[in-house]
Structures are given as C-alpha cells and as structure tokens.
Amino acid sequence: MRVDEILEAARTLGIEHGVGSVSLTDIANAVGMHKSALLRYFETREQIFLIITASGWQEWADDVVKRLRRLRKASPASVAAALAKSLAERPLFCDLVAHAALSLERHVSLDAVRTFKIAALDSAYAIAAQLQALVPLTQRQAVDIVATATNMAGVLWQIATPAPEVLPLYRSDPRLGHVVADIAPRLTGILEGLVTGFAAANKPAN
C-alpha cells in the first residue's frame, strides 16, 4: 500500500538525516514517485511526520507501561529510569516531539492536528495512570511528568546530535564535550527530581 510505503520511507529518512532535513521531494524520491503524486495521499510533509509522531506516542506508551509494570520496587529513581531509558531508545521519536509543536502542527489541516493531539493525549494519560499506580501523584502531576519527559527528551536529543559541521568543534574542545552525551542519565536525573518533589509534596502532614 502506497500510504505505508510513504510513511516507512519518511521514517527511514528521518532516522538517517534528521526530521528537519527531510523534504517532501526527498520522501517522494525514496518511494519513486513525483511530489505531486505523493500529495494525493498526504497534505504536506508535516502531516506525514505528524502521523509518524502519533504512532511514536502510542508505541512509547505501550513500552513505558510495560516497563513500569515490571518494576519490583517502584521508587522515584526506578520510575524516572524507566521513562528516560525508553525515550533514549527512540531517537526518531525524540526528534519528532521536538518538531511537533514547532513545525509539524503547522501547514496541516485542523483535523490532522486534532487526530495527532488525541493520540498523544491518550498515550500520555495511559502512562500517567500507571505512574499513579506506583507513586503518590495527582493526575495533573503524572501528566506533567510525562510532558516533561517528552519535552526534555526532545531538547536533549537536539543538543546531543548537533549538525555534522559543528560536531568536530564539540569533540575537539573539552569544555564543550558535555554537549554530545547520552541523554538517558541526564533525563533520569531531571525526572527523578520531579517525581521525588511531587511525591514529597503529596505526603500527608504529621
């Protein structure tokens, strides 16, 4: 089916070159069709990547919920690590969430944005519910943890994967070496602090 071929080609190009560098023409060339023909299936390149982002949310939510359910002893550290490691294993998703609000929600129909938002919200609430089953959190706090995880993962991924022409500079100067780093430990620390703070705030006063 051409729709699936187009989405798969966009995924592959996004992984290889970064979402921001992939044009509609690149995707059309990858599936062997003219750009005008591709537009019969999708409104814009942004819609293509928005659909992929929605799928990424659902796949990430399924994985995180499974990881959280497997925790033998839930703690802020173990919960944070489950979220962070799952995101770090999904570089394309991290790249996509960084672009979602910035560019992918533009140049698409309101129906396309609504479909994406509902998919993302459903996934966020599924993860939030599992967080609440493990840690004393309100629903708002649990959702904020999920939002912080994805937003920070997007930012950290962009920082840790600089443009190829800049990378030699970061590697040559020890003062800049921290920029290109594994995002999982940094994200784990941020999320652990957030989960710890929320849980502490919710403890009943003696």
Name the segment(s) of the chain with CATH classification 1.10.357.10: 46-201
Which two tokens mark 20?
A: 């921001």
Q: Hey, which CATH number is domain 46-201, 3.20.20.80, 2.30.33.40, 1.10.10.60, 1.10.357.10?
A: 1.10.357.10
Model pLDDT for residues 59-68, shown as the tens digit of each residue: 999 999 999 9
**pLDDT band at 179, cuts 50/70/90?**
low
Model pLDDT for residues 11-50, shown as the tens digit of each residue: 999 999 999 999 999 999 999 998 999 999 999 999 999 9
At 164 the pLDDT is 72
Whether residue 160 has pLDDT greater than 90 = no
Name the segment(s) of the chain with CATH classification 1.10.10.60: 1-42
Written out in words, the top-level CATH class of the domain with range 1-42 is mainly alpha
**pLDDT band at 161, cuts 50/70/90?**
confident
Q: What is the pTM of this model?
A: 0.90
Query: Do residues 44 and 87 make contact, with C-beta atoms less than 8 angstroms apart?
Result: no
Q: How many DSSP H helices and E strands does the chain contain? A: 10, 0
Model pLDDT for residues 86-123, shown as the tens digit of each residue: 999 999 999 999 999 889 998 899 999 999 999 999 99
